[in-house]
Amino acid sequence: MNILKLLDKLSDDKFFTTETSRSVSISKISKFGKKAAIASAPLGLGVIFSSPAKANVVNPNERKNVMKSTLTDALQLALVLEYLENEYYSLGLSAAGLIPSSDRTVFMQISKHESAHVNFLKSVLTSMGVTPGAKPTFDFTANGNFSPFSDYNQFLILAQAFEDTGVRAYKGQAGNVMSNKTVLQAALQIHSVEARHASQVRRMRANKGWIELADGGNMPSATNPVYTGEDNTEQAGYNTASTFGAPAGSAAYDEILSGSDAQAIASLFIV
């Protein structure tokens, strides 16, 4: 059972629609493994689908509250990741002599994007009547394992790790924000920009713009969690490796990160 594939299925906008009955949805889930679905689904979906016998007595207001909570959690997670990236690039640009003049324009632009993302997420949460989470205190040395603001190579390594994490994390939360189509559209727009950042930084490190298998490309072992699951070559029952080989087959489809995995990666750099 591929949990990442299941979560990707749950994030498909066509999977849950107003026209699809709950019994049909459960039937679809069961084909992927009902127990695994309930265990790995976002909080709101886990509550809604954990007990078929109680399905008909779920209070509509409770359902709305669960959906709002799930949406809020997804936005708060995205905000933490954007806080992290925004502060990282701000500190990098402020570090004298760190970023070569030929690359400064790139990171100045990326920094502006991340700042815009932070402001957007805070605005959305506020409009929902939710207080945006405060910016954490970050330790970009990861407890002394990195020196990104005195070593440009390490700065690039973490930039790639953060951007690759962001791309996978946004994709992983698609199912949690689909209750609000406006937010979903904006999240997808941010996701594609994060993917452009990731590709740009990867090429600045002389890496391919895409990820093959679970190899981030010249990355230290400390960043391995960022690429966990990327070696998957099974997509909706189609074995991509059988036609293209495992490297190209895995590279043709990016995998998602669950919320808990994204939080675990971010927590490595939070005091």
Q: Give the whole-number percent of the chain exceeding pLDDT 90.
A: 70
Angle, to 10 degrees, between the axis of helix 60-94 and the axis of helix 101-127? Answer: 160
CB atoms within 10 A of CB 48: 23
Q: Give the whole-number percent of the chain exceeding pLDDT 70.
A: 75
- The mean per-residue pLDDT over the stretch 149-167 comes to 97
Provide the pLDDT for residue 126. Answer: 96
Residue 28 tokens read as 């679809």
- If we measure between CA atoms, which residue out of 199, 255, 194, 259 comes closest to residue 230? 255
Provide the pLDDT for residue 19. Answer: 40
| Mean pLDDT for the chain overall | 81
Distance CA 44, CA 163 (A): 27
Q: Which band of pLDDT confidence, cut at 50, 70 and 90, is reported for residue 243?
A: confident
Q: Which band of pLDDT confidence, cut at 50, 70 and 90, is reported for residue 59?
A: low
Q: Which band of pLDDT confidence, cut at 50, 70 and 90, is reported for residue 13?
A: very low
Q: Which band of pLDDT confidence, cut at 50, 70 and 90, is reported for residue 65?
A: low
Residues 174-197: tens digit of each pLDDT: 999 999 999 999 999 999 999 999
- The mean per-residue pLDDT over the stretch 52-78 comes to 67
32 pLDDT above the threshold of 90: no
